[in-house]
Amino acid sequence: GENVEQHPSTLSVQEGDSAVIKCTYSDSASNYFPWYKQELGKGPQLIIDIRSNVGEKKDQRIAVTLNKTAKHFSLHITETQPEDSAVYFCAASYPGWDEKLTFGTGTRLTIIP
Amino acid sequence: DTAVSQTPKYLVTQMGNDKSIKCEQNLGHDTMYWYKQDSKKFLKIMFSYNNKELIINETVPNRFSPKSPDKAHLNLHINSLELGDSAVYFCASSPPGTHMNTEAFFGQGTRLTVV
């Protein structure tokens, strides 16, 4: 089955700086890679996703890059703000009757004012 | 509000008891899931249902029994609760079409504490 590794587990950056979180996946059949943000006491919420036919996607201060050959994808947050502090999860899924999201282990991002 | 809602939000119970968590979505989605998040925040799928039919059962002990009376509801019943069942349980749903190869919408979670 799919295995997703995520690094780092914790990340602290100064407000206004950039943050990068990296994930690798094992199953070359995976073709969908979402990123979720989980705030304290809430459920995970999708912030951006990318499919395997695209190498990069950007949405305002958030971008995701995908390297299919190396089987890794990354989340980039620029001009970080205090409200970006949360736990971020990457995930991967492959098509099929038993499609499911396999999550990474999470990164606790802290933005230092 | 359109959402995935689950109840209760908090559940404290003694070992050996039986408890249920309810989940409802009004998003019109065909597929619903239960995820378990442990103390280290690791999120792992337990079950998925598509239009009331069980699709995924991820080697979860048979003390856990999901029930889907209709495609808008997926409840989780747990028998003979153990200390290790303490976790946050999330219900989620995703739109029709290609199962989970699209955005999943999560509920707020149910924090289960077994004492």
Cα–Cα nearest to A68, from A27, A103, A22: A27
Q: Tell me the average pLDDT across A90-100.
A: 82
Q: What pLDDT score was predicted for residue A28?
A: 92
Residue-level pLDDT at A33: 95
Which among A21, A27, A99 is the top mutation candidate for probing chain B, defined by the most B β-carbons within 10 Å of its own β-carbon?
Answer: A99
pLDDT tens per residue, range A15-37: 999 999 999 999 999 999 999 99
Query: pLDDT value at position A27?
Result: 93
Compute the average pLDDT of residues A40-61: 93
CA distance A2 to chain B (A): 12
Burial pattern B9-36, b for ≥16 Cβ within 10 A else e, equals eebebeeeeebebbbbbeeebbbbbbbb
Contact B107, B92 (CB under 8 A): yes
Give B51's pLDDT tier (boundaries 50, 70, 90).
confident
Has residue A77 got a pLDDT over 80?
yes
Return the HEC string of B43-69.
EEEEEEEECCEEEEECCCCCCEEEEEE
Those residues with Cβ within 8 angstroms of residue A41's Cβ, 6 or more apart along the chain or in another chain: B108, B109
Over residues B21-39, mean pLDDT: 94
For position B99, what pLDDT does the model report?
47
CB A54 within 8 A of CB A63: no
**Quick one: which of A9, A27, A66 has its CA closest to B40?**
A9
pLDDT at B96 over 90: no
Q: CA-CA distances (angstroms) from residue B28 to A43, B33, B72?
A: 19, 14, 7
Q: Are B32 and B68 in contact (CB under 8 A)?
A: yes
CA distance A38 to B114: 24
Per-residue pLDDT band for B15 (boundaries 50, 70, 90) equals very high
pLDDT band at B55 (very low <50, low <70, confident <90, very high): confident
Mutate to test the interface with A, among B41, B44, B110 (most CBs of A within 10 A): B41
Q: What pLDDT band is residue B26 in, cutting at 50, 70 and 90?
A: very high
* Residue B98 pLDDT greater than 60, yes or no: no
CB A87 within 8 A of CB B41: yes
pLDDT at B103: 83
Contact B44 A103 (CB under 8 A): yes
- Phi-psi group of B80: left, alpha or beta (phi > 0 → left; psi -120 to 50 → alpha; rest → beta): left
